Amino acid sequence: MDHFNLIDGELHVENVPLARIAEAVGTPVYVYSAATFQRHARVFRDGLAGIARKHLAFAVKANPNLAVLRLLANEGFGADVVSGGELARALAAGMAAKDIVFSGVGKTRAELEQGLDVGIGQFNLELEEEGVVLAEIAAARGLRAPATLRVNPDVDAGTHEKISTGRAENKFGLPIDEAPAIFDRLAPLPGLDLRGIAVHIGSQLQSLAPLERAFERVGKLVADLRAAGHSITHVDLGGGLGVRYRDSDNPPSPAAFGAMVERVTRGWDVELMFEPGRVISANAGVLLTEVLWVKPGAVNPWVIVDAAMNDLARVAMYDAHHDFEAVRPSGEKFVANVAGPVCESSDVFAKGREIDRVQTGDLAILRSAGAYGATMASTYNSRPLVPEVLVSGDRFEVVAGRISAEAIMAEEHVPDWLK
Ligand SMILES: Cc1ncc(COP(=O)(O)O)c(C=O)c1O
Ligand SMILES: N[C@@H](CCCC[NH3+])C(=O)O
């Protein structure tokens, strides 16, 4: 069941009319559905029902809002974090340290220390030297840091170039062929409990085939490591499952993903770990915006909305598609461009698209904005930082306030020697 529906001709999130949120909070604003987050969390878990030993860690980068993290913690999710800031958020949201996995291609010494001091569940190491440093820091504290090696399996995920992570030329992971030798050198260090392998080949995957190829390579590596005498108890299979941004997208279902994982990992005898982000959050949120102007254009009219690339960067960064819909559709359509007010030619959400006919003052949404939306927002053009609202049934709450240009300016100052 979708929780973003027309009720009496007007778009609602669950039982709350979007117009009511716009009136109370202003626009632009991200609006999330708690019931959708819950449903996605459960569908993902159900897809993996056949896997006995598993750990689910939500990729915090997709949506780090504290309320969202708490909701997912209540659904039994831990977190996959990539910075000290994300780690602090996961803890602040009530997640247990042991349920947190620390990924990330450039963890600082301070971040490794922070992770050890709070007792996180696992570090996914990106290179040998990181393992050496982590082992030293842990040994000095009388600890053994639970860790895996993240390997780069050299598999093309078949997704947008800028969100691919598993090809040899990408910066992520260490070359899978070098993993056995690195494992041999790191495993004996007293400060490390080197217990497995991690892999993540990219995001918004529309096919299971590249994932399957990557997992098969990891399975072979696990067998080789065991044959060399290593104890392998954990394999982290990352995230990456794609979602439907438009009708023509056809991502694999969590059930199909689970069936593939079950088949490929049969007999591995490890705890499997997962780091889903987008599949849990993308379609749980929309960006609500107001039409400022409809401006004549040389080819198509320009619908200028009050949301911009600084609020939702995905279109400018990856040519991503987000459906655009009026909150009170008249039934009439027209072909138009949709753009924000930012002074960049790439601040365009849609070009030459048939959309609901809208006019100045109308409310509209950009759909599927719950993942990599608010979290990638900036204050470019000195625009306020976009707020977030969580809806549950017929109530809603501002779970991140709008941070004004004045508040941001308060962090700056002019040196005396310029006055
Ligand atoms: C290491 C790691 N895990 C998990 C994710 C989450 O990916 P997704 O949102 O595609 O599920 C990412 C981002 O691509 C990542 O880099
Ligand atoms: N930010 C990207 C996804 C990056 C995934 C991070 N590993 C997007 O919006 O699609």
Give the burial string for 170-183 (b: 16+ CB within 10 Å, else e): bebbbebeebeebb
Residues 322 and 100 sit within 8 Å (Cβ to Cβ): no
Residue 103 Cβ < 6 Å to ligand 1: yes
The DSSP element (H or E) to which 100 belongs, if any, is strand 100-102
pLDDT of 1: 55
Structure confidence at residue 163 as a pLDDT band (50, 70, 90): confident
The per-residue pLDDT for 158 is 86
| Count of C-beta atoms within a 10 Å radius of residue 253 | 15
Please state the rounded mean pLDDT for residues 127-154.
97
- Token pair belonging to 10: 């007007």
CB 307 within 8 A of CB 340: yes
Calculate how far, in angstroms, residue 349's C-alpha sits from the geometric centre of ligand 1.
24
pLDDT, tens digit (0-9, with 9 covering 90-100), for 33-83? 999 999 999 999 999 999 999 999 999 999 999 999 999 999 999 999 999
Tens digits of residue pLDDT in 92-112: 999 999 999 999 999 999 999
Q: Which residue has the higher pLDDT, 403 or 168?
A: 403
Quote the CA–CA distance of 179 and 218 in Å, as a whole number. Answer: 10
Span from the CA of 175 to the centroid of ligand 1 (angstroms): 19
Rounded distance, CA 262 to CA 278, Å? 21
Short-list 175, 179, 171, 177, CA closest to 197: 179
Determine whether the shortest distance from the Cβ of 278 to ligand 1 is under 6 A.
yes
CA of 337 to the centre of ligand 1 (A): 31
Pick the catalytic residue: 343, 410, 414, 418? 343
What would the pLDDT profile of 227-271 be if each residue is shown by its tens digit? 999 999 999 999 999 999 999 999 999 999 999 999 999 999 999
275 assigned to a ligand binding site:
yes
Query: Once rounded to an integer, what is the mean pLDDT over residues 381-399?
Result: 98
The interface predicted TM-score (ipTM) is 0.98
Q: State yes or no: 167 annotated in a binding site.
A: no
3-state class of 112 per DSSP? helix
Structure tokens at 317: 């960064």
Fold assignment, 104-274: TIM Barrel (3.20.20)
Q: In what order do the strands lie in the sheet with 16-17?
A: 4-7, 10-13, 16-17
Tell me which architecture the domain covering 4-32+282-409 has in CATH.
Beta Barrel (2.40)
Which ligand has an atom closest to residue 274 CA?
Answer: 1
Q: Is the CB of 203 under 6 A from ligand 1?
A: yes
As given in the structure block, the two tokens for residue 260 are 């593939």
Rounded mean pLDDT, 152-175 = 89
Domain spans of the chain? 4-32+282-409, 104-274
Return the residue whose CA atom lies nearest to atom 1 of ligand 2: 372
- pLDDT tens, 362-375? 999 999 999 999 99
State yes or no: 380 annotated in a binding site: no
Strand ranges for 169-211 from DSSP E = 174-175, 192-198
Which distant-in-sequence residues (6+ apart) come within 8 Å of 355 by Cβ?
Answer: 303, 324, 325, 326, 333, 334, 335, 336, 338
Question: Is 266 among the annotated ligand-binding positions?
Answer: no
Mutate-to-test residue for ligand 1 from 243, 244, 275, highest number of ligand atoms within 8 A of CB: 275
Average pLDDT of the chain, as a whole number: 97
Ligand 1 binding pocket mutation candidate from 72, 278, 279, 280 (most atoms within 8 A of CB): 278
Instruction: Give the model's pLDDT for residue 3.
Output: 95
DSSP-based three-state secondary structure for 140:
helix
Report whether pLDDT(394) > 90.
yes
Residue 166: predicted pLDDT: 86
- Over residues 10-39, the pLDDT tens digits come to 999 999 999 999 999 999 999 999 999 999
Residue 149 annotated as catalytic: no
Q: Is residue 10 helix, strand or coil? A: strand
Q: What pLDDT was estimated at residue 162?
A: 86
Residues 327-340 pLDDT 10s? 999 999 999 999 99
